[in-house]
Amino acid sequence: MKLRLLLVFMVTLGVLSLQAQDGHRKLREGDRAYEEGTYDKAAESYRAAISEKNSAQGNYNLGNAAYQQGDYEEAARRFEEAARLAGVSSQQAHAYHNLGNTYYQQGEFDKAAEAYKNALRRQPNDLETKFNLAKAMQQQQLQQQQQQQQQESEPSDENEEQEEQQDQQQQEGEDQQQQQQQNQDQQQQQSQENQDQQENQEQQSSEPQEAKPMTREEAERQLQFAEEDEKKTMEKMQRVQGRSCNSDKKW
């Protein structure tokens, strides 16, 4: 993008005040530095001139120097101020033309196109501005297409939320299945333990029980009972034998 320069400040020196003469001198110094390519010195001189008098010429030339240094934000501010202060349509058109170039360099093609349109409103037959406007509008369309493709390729917030919900539901389902499996395992383990316990009890009941050790008192009682039973048995036998011997039955 080619900048338009307005380096000559045409004014009758005879009507200048001392302050205006100093501002004009700073502008001329800035112009010489700009032509030599020392844009930092040029910008310094233009700022000094603006401090003396905030003019459209000073802001315009300072915008050019900032543009050459790559300080596009500063350049845009100065071109906007120059367009505001300029009293001639052609000067406004130049300011808007360079403002469009500045926005174009920053990739702000919508703002660049609007600046070029403002320049053409003041100079409708400017072919260079028309060409720059066409390029800015073309880049603007490409930029919009790229943004649209990027939005289509990237999941929206709603899709991301749905995916998160699905992941959460899936995780909850897996947790429930795992809990159910654990419960089933515990039930099977408990059932097996109960079955083993029942089998142990049945086995214990079928096996002969070991006799408990007998105390001395119990042994003596058992012995006394046995003696009494034996005594009764002997007495009964004696009575039976006595009847047999005294029987009167004949052969």
CATH code of residue 49: 1.25.40.10
102 in any annotated domain: yes
Q: Which domain holds residue 24?
A: 17-153
52 in any annotated domain: yes
Q: What is the pTM of this model?
A: 0.58
pLDDT tens digit sequence for 23-39: 889 999 999 999 999 99
Q: How many domains does the chain have?
A: 1
Q: Where are the alpha helices (DSSP H) in the chain?
A: 18-36, 39-52, 56-68, 72-85, 89-105, 109-122, 127-153, 157-206, 216-245
pLDDT tens digit sequence for 117-154: 999 999 999 999 999 999 999 999 999 999 888 888 87
pLDDT tens digit sequence for 194-245: 777 777 666 655 554 554 555 767 666 766 776 676 677 677 767 655 554 3
Query: What's the confidence (pLDDT) of residue 97?
Result: 97
